[in-house]
Amino acid sequence: AKAAPYVWPVWKQGRPEYHIVDLQSYIDEGFNLNTLIYSAIMYKVRAISATKLRAYKGDPEKPEILMPSHPLAKLVARPNPSQSFLEYQQLQCVYFNLSGNSFGLLDRPKRGGLPEAIYPLSPLRVYVIPGKKNELIGFLYVPEGKSHENGTPILPEDMMHVKLPNPGDAMEGMGYGLSPLSPMARSANVDNDVTDFLKKFFESGTMMNTYITFDVPMEEGVLAQSRERFMEIYGGYENWMKPAALDSGGKIQKFGYNFDEMGFEAIDERNESRILGPFGVPPILIGSRIGLMRSTYSNYEEARRACWEDTLVPEIRLYEADYQYYLQSDDGGFVAFDLSDVPALRKDMPALVEAAYKLWQMGEPRDSAYAIVGLEPVSNIPSGQISFVPLNAIPYDIGAEEAENTNVGAVEAEEDTEDRSKTKNLPVIAEKKSLSPEAKVAHWKANDRTATSWEPKFREAAVKAFEHDKRELLAMLNKGKRIALEQKATIDWLIFGEEWLRYLLAESGQAWRATFLPMIKGLIKDRGEQLATAFGMQFDVQNLFARDWFNNYTLKFATDIGETTKTDISKVLNQAQQEGWSVPTMQKNLTTLFDQYMHGNLTPDDFEWFEERMPAYRTEMIARTETLRASNAGSNQIYKDWGSEKKEWLSTRDNRTRPDHAEADGQVVGINE
């Protein structure tokens, strides 16, 4: 290969290159004094602490971690006796962001061998030395207090030099990198000057920023004495609130600006954006004014991820390239950064699983679907390379004659074969062989599991609704008691009961629907997702709930429940009228009735007062009945949306199944029956 065409001027050859920035000033006035510069750099320093440089062997695409006892693994764990890798990399990060350069000295036992140690060198003390033509002679390290003549020369192969691009580099990329502080230096100076001004102002400025005039001539000594006296009384922030008092003829006139007039907010925002921009750190991540004003905590995660993807990962790759070039063992060991512990770069596992699942539903083998989205299979299964398709899907080019020989689709659903003649250009997707008995058992068990899983929530909702009814009825009773006391009359329970019954027919049903609506929607959504997975179909849950069937279902939902309550309450009222109950007796017995509804922990002795048979424990029955009703109602509507005209009854076949339901098992009826 031809040599590079670079030629350096004779007067530069063999001489250390001057630094292109005053790094000491950047350290003193930037890192040490400016909070924005310090915060941005230290954010990077802390962020990279989540990364690790590891030693590997084998295929770089699927590497194996070297044992901790391996020399390369030891080196990256502790580059030198006084520093861990984290300490080493953090210091290099500070050097890199202040000067645009970082230098790592390789201490080798022999030329070309694996280093025994790596030492970070301050860019303040390292100089680049150009050669005669297209090369570097090396570097010169000048310890503090030494002259260039007493510096230590270092060969190029013994120095790792990571740098930022510098378009003005006279050595065509072999010289110094450009510091991020160079383009922001003036904005940083303005920011420092504003801080200095505020400090000085708080130390000795007056709040009024005024001058004093008198309408009579005054001698210089008197004027000086007046100024000193005024500063003594009103100077400094401790004295801003003192009222001013002047002798006859004295006037105070404003000539300065207050903080609002100075426009510090605009200056701060301008400085922050210009200082943080070159560092590539979003303002919200360091809590700067402009970041907090124009961002919300909800997009903090997006800003953090963007900082990693756009700034930190590219900077880490610069180091990784040099590390991989200089740090190689004779047995093929190499190094690479491990970013798996970086929270901002972790994969969105739920989204990837969902994507893999959709691919699998479309017929992609499981292992292939995982590989496409970048997931590792959690286990090896024999069917990992086998494609699966939904029960209702067949190839597009299968003719109608072949489809006519198949049986009806899913367990509860059946398509009308006559409608196939109307869709000449569409594939026949609805007809398949019936499910096996085993598949049907699995299907009704899945339905039962879904309904049963919602029973605790339905029980809680029933208790809440019964408690609401009890309190409303007791409130009406207390109101009736007050009216009776005012009228000095006894309560006619049959007349009073009309108000209770009106409540149970109207407001009670609305309260029950409002309480159960979230549970009904959640159960139907779960059931719909289960059916969609089983049969490979899609359903729009929001559209499902917006239909007339759902409104009609919820309107009728509490009818049976309210009727049972109304019947029991009517019996209680009749007995109260006959026996002439007092209000406290009614309160006690009504509370007992609802406690039995809600908890079912009472005994027949607790209902000796009741002429009818002991009321049932209704909460459990409501939960069991309404979960199945909601599940079946939602399933039925989903089947209708899919075009099914028939369904097959499948009982749950457990000890809670009613005889008439068991007899209906296996019957095929119309979808609306």
Per-10-residue mean pLDDT, the chain, length 673: 73 90 93 91 94 94 93 96 96 96 95 93 96 86 92 95 94 93 85 78 61 67 76 67 56 56 64 84 78 62 89 96 94 94 82 84 82 80 72 44 38 37 36 58 76 88 91 89 80 85 86 88 83 71 68 77 88 88 89 89 82 82 85 79 74 63 70 72
Indicate whether 466 and 601 sit together in one domain.
Answer: yes
Specify if 210 maps to a domain.
no
What pLDDT score was predicted for residue 658?
A: 64
Q: List Cα–Cα distances, 654 to 448, 620, 658, 662, in angstroms.
A: 10, 17, 9, 9
What pLDDT score was predicted for residue 417?
A: 34
Taking each helix axis from N to C end, the angle separating 559-579 and 583-599, rounded to the nearest 10 degrees, works out to 150
Domain end marker among 364, 388, 412: 388
Indicate whether 586 and 485 sit together in one domain.
Answer: yes
Indicate whether 27 and 120 sit together in one domain.
Answer: yes
Indicate whether 137 and 101 sit together in one domain.
Answer: yes
What is the secondary structure of 533-562 as a DSSP string?
A: HHHT----HHHHHTSHHHHHHHHHHTHHHH
Beta partners for residue 53, in sequence order: 337
Model confidence, pTM: 0.53
3-state secondary structure of 487: helix
Indicate whether 375 and 446 sit together in one domain.
Answer: no
**CA 410 to centroid of chain Cα atoms:** 39
DSSP 252: E
Query: ∠ at Cα 46 (40, 50), nearest 5°?
Result: 135
Q: Which of 254, 337, 348 lies closest to 50, judged by CA?
A: 337
- Helix, strand, coil % over all residues of the chain, rounded to 5: 55, 10, 35
What pLDDT score was predicted for residue 416?
A: 38
Domain range for 505: 437-642
What pLDDT score was predicted for residue 367?
A: 85
Q: Residues 486, 492, 494, 495: is their CA dihedral positive or negative?
A: negative
Indicate whether 326 and 364 sit together in one domain.
Answer: no
Indicate whether 383 and 455 sit together in one domain.
Answer: no
Specify if 249 maps to a domain.
no
Domains of the chain: total: 3
Residue 56 near residue 335 (C-beta atoms within 8 A): yes
**CA 372 to centroid of chain Cα atoms:** 24
Q: What backbone phi and psi angles, to 5 degrees, belong to 334?
A: -145, 170
Specify if 303 maps to a domain.
yes
Specify if 211 maps to a domain.
no
What is the secondary structure of 131-155 as a DSSP string?
A: -SSSSEEEEEE--TT--GGG-EEE-
What is the secondary structure of 36-85 as a DSSP string?
A: HHHHHHHHHHHHGGG-EEEEEES-TTS-EEPPTTSHHHHHHH-SBTTB-H
Specify if 199 maps to a domain.
no
Specify if 261 maps to a domain.
no
What pLDDT score was predicted for residue 412?
A: 38
Specify if 232 maps to a domain.
no
DSSP 338: E
Rounded Cα–Cα distance for residues 31 and 247 (Å): 50
What pLDDT score was predicted for residue 315?
A: 96
Indicate whether 331 and 354 sit together in one domain.
Answer: no
Indicate whether 295 and 372 sit together in one domain.
Answer: no
Specify if 667 maps to a domain.
no
Q: How many CB atoms lie within 10 A of CB 216?
A: 7
What is the secondary structure of 343-396 as a DSSP string?
A: GGGS--HHHHHHHHHHHHHTT--HHHHHHHHT---SS--GGGG-----TT---T
Indicate whether 368 and 464 sit together in one domain.
Answer: no
Indicate whether 496 and 574 sit together in one domain.
Answer: yes
Indicate whether 334 and 462 sit together in one domain.
Answer: no
Beta partners for residue 335, in sequence order: 55
Q: How many CB atoms lie within 10 A of CB 218?
A: 15
